[in-house]
Structures are given as C-alpha cells and as structure tokens.
Amino acid sequence: GQNIDQPTEMTATEGAIVQINCTYQTSGFNGLFWYQQHAGEAPTFLSYNVLDGLEEKGRFSSFLSRSKGYSYLLLKELQMKDSASYLCAPKDSNYQLIWGAGTKLIIKP
Amino acid sequence: GAVVSQHPSWVICKSGTSVKIECRSLDFQATTMFWYRQFPKQSLMLMATSNEGSKATYEQGVEKDKFLINHASLTLSTLTVTSAHPEDSSFYICSLVTGEQGNQPQHFGDGTRLSIL
C-alpha cells in the first residue's frame, strides 16, 4: 500500500531551526511536494523535489533521498507565523498526490 | 497572485439542502481540477478529478450521485453536494495544476467550510 509517515506534532522556539522528517512508500514515484496549511485554511505550495539532494528557497529547504524513501523540510529563523501543519505529499506512478495527516508545528516565543 | 478562486467560503444550511461550490481558475485554462474533502485533524482526501468536457473520475467510496461535478469550461468546475446531511459537514477544497502534471504543484482554492444543521 501507499503510506506517508511524519511526526504528528513538533514544537520549536522562535528564531530557531526545525527539521520535519517524512518517510514514504508509494507505487512509483514522480516527485515530492511540501505544503503548508494553516488551521482552517487550504494548503499552500512550499517546495518540490524530484531528484536527490537539497532544494533551498529562502528560509525553507527541502531534501530528498529517493533510495531511502525519505524527505525533510528544514525551516530556519522560525517566526510565529510558521505555526501551521506541514504536509509531505509524494506523487505516485499515476501522478496522483498521496497525502498524509501532516505535522503540526507549534512555535513558542 | 491567486491562481484559483473558490466560492463560497462558508455555507451553513439545513439538512436536505443541495449546495453548489464553484472553483475558477484565474488567467489560464485548466483541463483538470481536483476536489478534496478534509475533516478536522485529518489528511486531505481526494474525492474526484474533474476533467473539462467529460465525466469526472471519482475515488473509491465517493458517491457520484451525491457529489455532482460539472466541468463545463476550462475555467470553471462546480461541486454540488446534493441533499446534504450533517455527516457531509466538512472542508471542501478544489485545486488545479497549471501545466503538465509531472512537476507542477497543485494550487488550491481557499476552501469552502460546509456546515449542515
């Protein structure tokens, strides 16, 4: 079957760095997306990885290892507005996004 | 700027009412749109893939007669929840991709929160 595994909840301090890990099992693989979802709102696109390695986008970076079925999202210089759920979503062989429940990130002052 | 416009944002209505939700792509043509539902603290669940000019493809377990999808133009897809009941109360979100599906992200509308009394 297809499966996404992320921590349910994480807590970090404003100004710090946090890494949100994701392991996945899919039928085929066509890239992996990270989305941010604030409570009560729709997801917004953060990053995309299709090849192994690190993609950096400002304060956010995402890493992918296809052989390990593993990705992480790294958030630097955390701000209070970063409090949200972070969704790891790989695409399977049919280009369908597979969604997990995401990681709820709580930022404390 | 916004890629997708979804309307309405909130709906509160009585049991048995049918509710229509619109999803519009802004500034470009979308041959494919997606409809999701999300219950509190749960993951996004794909309900159906809406294809312009043809019938929608429904996911297993989603009643096509209950959730009517119409994608009559390249910029508009609608989801109608027919004879809604309290168990249909949820957050409904549409999305689309702006290019080939391979490496393009899905862009989401703002969602519609549906509450059935």
pLDDT of B102 = 63
More confident residue, B32 or B28: B32
Query: What residues of chain A score a pLDDT lower than 70?
Result: none
Q: Would you call B43 and A97 a contact, using CB atoms and an 8 Å cutoff? A: no
A62 contacts: CB under 8 Å, gap ≥ 6: A32, A34, A46, A47, A48, A49, A54, A55, A71, A72, A73, A74
Number of CB atoms found within 10 A of residue B54's CB: 9
pLDDT of B32 = 85
Q: CB-based contact (8 Å) between B97 and chain A?
A: no
Q: Which of residues 18-77 of B touch A (CB under 8 A)?
A: 41-46
pLDDT of A2 = 85
Q: CB-based contact (8 Å) between A97 and chain B?
A: yes
pLDDT of A52 = 97
Location of structure tokens 């509710």: B19
pLDDT of B73 = 85
Out of B42, B45, B108, name the one closest to residue A42 (CB): B108
Terminal CA-to-CA distance of chain B, rounded, Å?
Answer: 35
Q: Would you call B44 and A95 a contact, using CB atoms and an 8 Å cutoff? A: no
- C-alpha span between A82 and B114 (Å, rounded): 26
Render pLDDT for B44-102 as a digit per residue (tens, 0 to 9).
999 999 888 888 999 999 999 999 999 878 889 999 999 999 999 999 999 987 766 56
